[in-house]
Structure 1
Amino acid sequence: MTQDTSVADRLIELRRKRGLTQEALAEAAEISVGVVRKLEQGGTARIENYHRLGRVLGVRTVWFMSPENPTPRADDQRDPVLADIRSAVNPPLGLRGRIYPDDDTPPSLELLGRAVESVAAHYQADRYDDVARMSPALVRSAHAHVAILEGDEKSEALRLRADALQLTARYLIQIREHDLSLIALRDALTDALSIGDQALAAACIGEQGWALLRQGRFDDVERLCADTADVLEPSKLSKAPKATVAAWGYILMRAGAAAVRNNRPVEAREYQQLAQSAGEIVGDEIPTAGHMRFGRTTALMNGMQNELVSGRPDVALSMVDEIRPRQGQATENTQQRYALDQASAHLRLRNVERTTEIMMGLKSKAPTWFRQQQAARDITEDLLEQAKRMPSSEHREIAEFLGVTG
């Protein structure tokens, strides 16, 4: 895929206005000069590299993103594999509304609730094959319950359907099916709002922000989460229920993550300070709607990641001692992402040995999750670049496991 040539032209013009050679820009951005040359020839780069260039040149990351006509690609071989989950999440729409398959099974909210909890447990344990297998039937069952039940039972069915769709969306984000995940989250949010479950609605918006971040839609995420935080903000933080403060803090973290990736450091710092204030009020991590957890530790982990994205790996690692005593309170996925951030920070500081140790540990402890992470592949590419002359057997093992070619 090639980028609109106007971006290449603008990059050349801006670099020259700043009085930088390609080599000087690459050095300041801590990327290879080959990346700069590729972009100036109309190519593309990782979003992380756009961010680094934007930070040096004084522009937002989205400055590098321009509408284009994608080049044709071979048929996606995953489509048949995902057909069942697509059918459940995004059923066909006819003249009389959405068309669901007939289901003669008697409704049971108790069994539906157990099924939701089971899928959540599989997701948290990184058993993605089980989530993929169970999610379509779970979502279809939730559709059937909503169609059949009335009154308070219908409200509970709507809550469970929102939960099921939100869980399914989280799995879809992990496998980078972002557009399908956003469809699921849109419907989950509609259900949550229809029954007035603000906490679950906030969870759906937070996950929507995650999917949009993965698509590089930083402006959209910041606007969405800032607006949501304004609605959620308690009038008196010290007297508000912890669950309310947690939902508010979680959304602020997403806003900060978007702002820092879009080279808006002042705004990112403000969002993060508010999120950490929320974390201090909540204290130890508490469960939130959508099977997440939020508290002081999760907020600090997000702050560490923001420091890393801002180009301050030393500051990021200085936060580890404060986080370490309570890191086990965060969800497994959050802890795993935190470990990846440490690996990236160590690599930026040229500590190849520690980076390799962390990456091998994640490969052993959370192989399914690890294989799905683009950040892990990015770190591995950089790791191979630093160890180009003599990659170790461990480097080759990690690269082969992730499908990274050196």
Structure 2
Amino acid sequence: MPSQDTSVAERLAELRRKRGMTQEQLADAAGVSLGVVRKLEQGGTARIENYHRLGRVLGVRTVWFMSPENPAPRADDQRDPVLADIRSAVNPPLGLRGRIYPDDDVPPNLHLLGRAVESVAAHYQADRYDDVARLSPAVIRSAHAHVDLLEGDDRAEAIRLRSDALQLTARYLIQIREHDLSLIALRDALTDAMTVGDQALAAACIGEQGWALLRQGRFDEVEQLCADTADVLEPSKLSQTPKAIVAAWGYILMRAGAAAVRNNRPTEAREYQQLAQSAGEIVGDEIATAGHMRFGKTTALMNGMQNELVSGRPDVALSMVDEIRPRQGQATENTQQRYALDQANAHLMLRNVDRTTEIMMGLKATAPTWFSQQQAARDIAEDMLDQAKRMPSGDQREIAEFLGVTN
């Protein structure tokens, strides 16, 4: 194995040669362009899924390609002013007397606070992200004030609602790729959930933490985090355990499997996924879980389909559609949208560009806000343009323009 104190470019070239492969052979076996291999061996970077494909051929984990380096400077994208209010609510300044929040002289009202949290959840599920960004800072600040002013059972309920509000805000932040800020929100949401002993809500916070870490390519950490959590949650007798706890356990196992399959650990991924699907069978029809999420047989199957896709088996992934189709409406809107994107990617991997285009146009029409935030959609659009004929269709150009992708 190449030494770990060299650059990724040097290690990749050394390992490729030890495997007796030319750059062309490696690119062909991994299903990536020759330009990707050349770029990496010259010190460039690639998408995580390309690291995964190369790692699968070379027999190393995806994280093998992750090397700490000084990141190149980037132009200011001017997002900080837009996110200033959320940053202030989620990560306020810390002084010698604790965190500093604005004064709030509004009398506490748990009923109104609960309705406000539900409103943020409804906006998030409907992809109304502007409303989430507008409402969530005020809801979080109100929750802080309630916790400070109330006592006893009322205070415990305020803490639970604050955890819920922070977790919802973190989910929005993940969608817009503000992963570090989302992890701060989830850290505090988890602390609150554990303070009031709400195990299901705590599991939801950990599951969302896993999602944010997956987006950062931290696969080893996600697998360990979720495997440890699943060990704690594992029911002694599935058939006698409340479905909400079984759902929380299954949801965490899905995250562990997603991390393992992306890190070229297929055996472990299958084991996690089989357990998640067992949980899904016990739960049956999707049920609402803590943190405004849903889990059941359908969600577990959709995750299994995605794992097959990541494993480079688009034909197997698409073979699962018939089983999922009758129940897909039970999943959350976001889960269904991701499922549609996975189908588009599977068809593209099988070089059915027209079907990919059709699905992508459907997502653009029905879920434009969600669609515009998905890096996976941009990656599919780039590959779609590569596969298209010399003159992309009008729909393909429309998708690329909408997502900001250039050929």
TM-score (norm 1): 0.98
Q: How does 1:44-193 map to 2 (within 5 A)?
A: 44-193=45-194
Is 1:20 equivalent to 2:18 in the alignment? no
The amino acid across from 1:49 in the alignment is N
Is 1:395 equivalent to 2:392 in the alignment? no
Q: How does 1:252-291 map to 2 (within 5 A)?
A: 252-291=253-292
2:343: which partner in 1? 342
> By how many angstroms is 1:388 displaced?
4.8
Q: Deviations over 1:354-387 (max 9, x none)?
A: 0000000000000000000000000000000001
Which stretch of structure 1 is more off in the superposition, 68-77 or 237-246? 68-77
Counterpart secondary structure, 1:293: strand
Which stretch of structure 1 is more off in the superposition, 227-236 or 71-80? 71-80
1:31: which partner in 2? 32
Q: Deviations over 1:243-289 (max 9, x none)?
A: 11000000000000000000000000000000000000000000000
Q: What CA distance in whole angstroms lies between the structure 1 residues aligned with 2:365 and 2:71?
A: 37
Is 1:371 equivalent to 2:357 in the alignment? no
Counterpart secondary structure, 1:31: coil
The amino acid across from 2:285 in the alignment is D
> By how many angstroms is 1:74 displaced?
2.4
> By how many angstroms is 1:76 displaced?
3.6
2:330: which partner in 1? 329
Which stretch of structure 1 is more off in the superposition, 341-350 or 65-74? 65-74
Q: What CA distance in whole angstroms lies between the structure 1 residues aligned with 2:109 and 2:97?
A: 26
Q: What CA distance in whole angstroms lies between the structure 2 residues aligned with 1:70 and 1:388?
A: 36
The amino acid across from 2:229 in the alignment is T
Q: How many residues align?
A: 403
Counterpart secondary structure, 2:7: helix
Q: What CA distance in whole angstroms lies between the structure 2 residues aligned with 1:277 and 1:73?
A: 45
Q: Name stretches of at least 5 consecutive residues in structure 1 with no aligned partner.
A: none
Counterpart secondary structure, 1:287: strand
Structure 1 residues 109, 78: CA separation in 2 closer, same or farther (over 3 Å shift)?
Answer: same
Q: What CA distance in whole angstroms lies between the structure 2 residues aligned with 1:104 and 1:251?
A: 40
Q: Deviations over 1:146-197 (max 9, x none)?
A: 0100000000000000000000000000000000000000000000000100
Q: Deviations over 1:310-339 (max 9, x none)?
A: 000000000000000000000000000000
Counterpart secondary structure, 1:378: helix
C-alpha contact (below 8 Å) 1:5/1:42 kept by paired residues: no
2:235: which partner in 1? 234
> By how many angstroms is 1:70 displaced?
1.2
2:358: which partner in 1? 357
Q: Deviations over 1:47-92 (max 9, x none)?
A: 0000000000000000000000112222341001100000000000
After the TM superposition, which segments of 4 or more aligned residues of structure 1 sit over 6 Å from their partners? none
1:205: which partner in 2? 206
Q: What CA distance in whole angstroms lies between the structure 1 residues aligned with 2:381 and 2:64?
A: 27
Q: What CA distance in whole angstroms lies between the structure 1 residues aligned with 2:178 and 2:86?
A: 11
1:245: which partner in 2? 246
Q: Deviations over 1:10-32 (max 9, x none)?
A: 10011111111111111111111
Counterpart secondary structure, 1:100: coil
The amino acid across from 1:323 in the alignment is I
The amino acid across from 1:392 in the alignment is S
> By how many angstroms is 1:347 displaced?
0.2
The amino acid across from 1:229 in the alignment is A
Q: What CA distance in whole angstroms lies between the structure 2 residues aligned with 1:337 and 1:8?
A: 33
Give the RMSD, CA atoms, in angstroms.
0.8
Is 1:215 equivalent to 2:178 in the alignment? no
Q: What CA distance in whole angstroms lies between the structure 2 residues aligned with 1:367 and 1:73?
A: 27
2:302: which partner in 1? 301
Counterpart secondary structure, 1:339: helix
Counterpart secondary structure, 1:126: coil
Q: What CA distance in whole angstroms lies between the structure 2 residues aligned with 1:321 and 1:90?
A: 45
Q: What CA distance in whole angstroms lies between the structure 2 residues aligned with 1:73 and 1:52?
A: 27
> By how many angstroms is 1:5 displaced?
6.3
1:404: which partner in 2? 405
Counterpart secondary structure, 2:294: strand
The amino acid across from 2:206 in the alignment is I
The amino acid across from 2:301 in the alignment is L
The amino acid across from 2:121 in the alignment is A
Structure 1 residues 34, 388: CA separation in 2 closer, same or farther (over 3 Å shift)?
Answer: farther
